[in-house]
Amino acid sequence: QGATKNRTPEKPQYDTDFTTRVIAATGSKAHPRLAEIMPSLLRHLHDFAREVGLTVAEWASAIDLINACGKMSDDRRNETQLLCDILGLESLVDEITSKKLATSTTETPSAILGPFYRNDAPLLPNGSSVVHNLTPSVPWYNQAVADSAYVTGRVLSCASGGGARTPLRNAIVDVWHTAPNGLYEQQDTDQPEMNLRGRFATDADGRYSLYCLRPVAYPIPDDGPAGQLLALLDRHPWRPGHIHFIVSAAGHRSLTTQIFDSRDEYINNDSVFAVKEELIVKFVPREGDPKAKWALEYDFVLGPM
Ligand code: MBD
Ligand code: FE
């Protein structure tokens, strides 16, 4: 009784002039874009705090969360990015960026980069495999054989407009995916360096071709603060099986995207909200190729710079 007697009985009224003053104190001669976006950020941030009645203790636990993400991050783990991913923020800014820059709806849709890209994947000849050192002693050998896949397609330009698509020679298809144990090579000491990564240059017809594996569903790393938050929010950490690509060609905007295996049970339930209809693919059985049980043909369409 005594504990409640001094508390405000009705909805508190805040001095919103406070926010106006904070915004008025904010500008940037050095960085015009910062000057443009900060007022909006401050307005939404302050409105959010007022709307939910954010307390000092709650704000302090958010600070702890962000600090914990930073402490955990290094070359191999970007926990702050992962936090953004589970909040849908990386997917949202990816969508905003491609809407701003795309010149045609025929461009292949983008999808988020994610935290596991590595520069300088080996440049491999078309028709070679990104699966290295696969021997029967590898724990997931049988699954790798059952899911072996031949992936081919063309890199096309829609730069000339009018719905025309022209093949791009010497485009680079940079590809990466997890092993059947759900781990990227840098997360897994049992995989050789740069396993399941490669770059392929398209031929005169704009064609690339490679051997890889049908991707499996896997949980994003959930042993850190982002995973704790997921659990608190009654959410699962799984992503549908996906293959990442960065496709680049002279005079064209690089495309960062992912393709998603239609068979996957998480296809409509991605923990980082990256799936788009046009990026869902169907692998088909491949006959007469001892190196692949499955085949996929997928074209990438790039827009002009
Ligand atoms: C991933 O493998 C990934 O692709 C994304 C976007 C986020 C977390 C893990
Ligand atoms: Fe990924």
Mode of pairing for the β-strands spanning 242-248 and 238-239: unpaired
Which of ligand 1's atoms lies nearest the C-alpha of 184? 2
Q: Which of 85, 218, 258 to mutate to test the pocket of ligand 1 (most atoms within 8 A of CB)?
A: 85
| pLDDT given at position 3 | 54
pLDDT of 144 > 60? The answer is: yes
* Ligand 1 atom 7 nearest Cα: 114
Report the complex ipTM. 0.98
pLDDT per residue as tens digits for the range 48-70: 999 999 999 999 999 999 999 99
Residue whose pair of structure tokens reads 């005079």 in the numeric block = 251
Given a cut of 80, is residue 10 above it in pLDDT?
Answer: no
So what's the pLDDT on residue 12? 83
For residue 272, the CA-to-ligand 1 centroid distance in Å is 7
Strands 294-297 and 284-285: antiparallel
* Position 275 pLDDT exceeds 90: yes
Residue 11: exposure state from Cβ atoms within 10 A (0-12, 13-18, ≥19) = exposed
The tens digit of pLDDT for each residue in 212-233 reads 999 999 999 999 999 999 999 9
Ligand 1 contacts (CB < 6 A) are 82, 85, 112, 114-116, 220, 239, 272, 274
- For atom 5 of ligand 1, which residue has the closest CA? 114
Calpha distance 254→275 (Å, rounded)? 19
pLDDT at 13: 87
Query: What is the DSSP pairing of strand 294-297 with strand 148-157?
Result: parallel
Mean pLDDT of all residues belonging to the chain: 95
Ligand 2 centre to CA of 132 (Å) is 19
pLDDT in tens, 146-203: 999 999 999 999 999 888 999 999 999 999 999 999 999 999 999 999 999 999 999 9
> What pLDDT does residue 16 have?
81
Q: Quick one: pLDDT at residue 105?
A: 85
pLDDT-derived band of residue 109, with 50, 70 and 90 as boundaries?
very high
